[in-house]
Structure 1
C-alpha cells in the first residue's frame, strides 16, 4: 500500500505540511517493500487555482492509496473520493510519527524502512482523523463523522 504524507522536505523527522494542495511535496511510503521517497509538488503548489485537484490527480497517478494531511479542500476531497483514495486529517506530528501510526491503526504492518515504532497514536499526538469520524465532516457513507468519541469507522477504499 502506498501512503503519502504532505511534507516540505524529505526529512521524516520534520513536521508534516498541513496544506494538502500547497504542500511542497509528499513523502511516499510503500508498506510492502519498506521503500520511501519524496516527490516534488512545487508545480501544483504554485498554480493560482485548482492546486488541490491537480495534486490529487498527481498522487493518483503515483498509485497512492491513502493520504495524510491537515486539510483537504472540497474539490480536492471530491477528486480523491472519486479515485478511491483514503484521506486522513491530522493536526500535528512528524512525518515519521504519522505514517507509523497510520500503519499501526490500519493493521497494515510497519513500513520496513528505517522508521521506528512511535509510542504515540494519531489521536495521542494531537491529530484528529477523518476515517475515524474525527474533525471535519468525516468519511462515513452518510458524510457525518461524530467526533472522536463515537464517530465509527469511515469508508475505506
Structure 2
C-alpha cells in the first residue's frame, strides 16, 4: 500500500466523524451562557481575535495612573450584538484603581465595531468575560494584556 491509502480513513469513519470535525463549538456557547475570552480554536476564535486587536489598538495606560505607580487587573463583562457592536460593558471586579477600570471599559467601546459574530453562532447576543491587566514593567503607555480565566 502507498502512503495515501494508509492515511485515508474509511468512508464510514469519515461519515461518522465529519460533522464533529466541521463543527467548532463549545458547550458554554451552545448553551448560551456567558463565555470567557478564549483564544483556542473554536467557533468564536475570529471574533475574539478582532476583539483583542481592536482593543489593543486603542487601549492606553492612563498617564496619571503611571505616575502614581498603579497596576492591577479588572474583570469586565462585555455584551455584543450580532453585528459586533457593544451593547454593554460592566465592571465585575475592580483593579482597585478607578482610572484603570475606566480606561479598560472605554477601550472596549472605542475599539468597536468588532465585526459580525460568526454565522454559526446561534444567539443574537454574545456575553464575554475577560481580564484587563495593567503592568508597568510591560508598558507605560498601553494596557498590558487581555485574557480569559
- Do these two structures clear the TM 0.5 threshold for a shared fold by scoring above it? no
Q: TM-score range by the shorter chain?
A: under 0.3
Larger % of helix: which? 2
Say which one has the larger Rg. 2
Higher relative contact order (CA 8 A, sep 6+): 2
Normalising to structure 2: TM-score of the pair?
0.23
